[in-house]
Amino acid sequence: MPDIDPNCWLITIQTSQMRPLLKYLNENGVQARPFWMPMNQLRMFRNDIYINNDDISNQVYESCISIPSSVGVTDEQLQTVVETIKQFYKNID
């Protein structure tokens, strides 16, 4: 729609190297965190009935990282994030 400008406020990537990449990013000055914890894993909901044969939410949680994003993030800062991620993958090859 031409009159709509999306608010891409949460950039999330999925990777089989989630934990090592997360550690690498944070050690190299890029503040990143795991994607939101699934509600069925929160302490307040642990005893509630969870009706699902496949826990897809846990698969997402265990493989996704939220990287810096905000309306205030500059192109230069985003480029630093991208370059740091690229460097991580160069180091594991």
Phi, psi of 49 (to 5 degrees): -70, 130
**CB count, 10 Å around CB of 58?**
13
Global pTM reads: 0.78
Give the model's pLDDT for residue 13: 93
The pLDDT tens digits for 22-59 are 999 999 999 999 998 888 788 888 777 766 667 788 88
Domains plus CATH for the chain?
A: 11-92 (3.90.1150.10)
- Select from 89, 65, 55 the least CA-distant residue to 11: 65
Residue 7 has pLDDT above 80, yes or no: no
Quick check: 32 and 25 in contact, CB under 8 A?
yes
